[in-house]
Chains A and B, each alone.
Chain A
């Protein structure tokens, strides 16, 4: 039964992907890639990766679609008819695919419990984390405690990407016209769309509330700082899309958002330094409180807060920069 569901979802993904290649209307391609993300999130749920599915749905179907649409309004929606011969790329792709399939023949079978991947550190996480960390969600334990270094690294990478985007786009272009992509013109046109405005007003608080739930319930269910940040950002971006960039920037000024992106990394690294100052290893939360389980839970909560602040700041910064970009003259 399960493999039929897998097959069905993978079939949908393949059809969507092939349609995306064939379409030359980029707007439709972006919308389809959003659907692709949503279907792959469903597949991730059937593969037991609930945390990842939540992330994929929020990022793929939410944030990256908005960013891509913002870019399309700046660079044009039509793809030119391809002039190149597709034979050489096709050959490369077929050969690479054949080599990869040949590689899977030596792989251990799908889902077997004695696969090498399940016999290394994973059993320890599953058996000991309940006692050592004291929270049921093993993914959160591994993410924020056992592998806190990795997560600090990832958070720093996101911060670096924000700095990169700001360096590329914050300067403003030389040839400008007075129309922002999602700015003033849109807030004027949306004034009369009552359903959209009322609908958004009703949805936004619930999206933000759900973000809080995902953040603080991460110990017991799927969720965590990354997911909560993206859901928060999606809720805020919805507000900005309907009510205009100017209003959104009055609620949350760009300077505050830039600060957020840096502040989260500081919180995360600061906890690491605090534990070092207390005489234990970097990010070893036992120094924070006397009871080892309480210390772990407190450490995880603070670290997740750092992740939330940075990722939220990063997503909103990128949105502000792309959406506030003025269209250059053709």
Chain B
């Protein structure tokens, strides 16, 4: 397990950072745009499981 973690650290370089941060940034951007819809969706899902 330690070896796997160490290998992952070694694997992360500039070429890997750009896609990773781009994907995270894109998710952040989409969340900001569709915030109300996302919150509404979570509320609806929550209402299925939690009776008010």
Asked if A pairs with B, the answer is no
B residues near A (Cβ < 8 Å) are none
Q: Which A residues form the contact surface with B (CB < 8 A)?
A: none
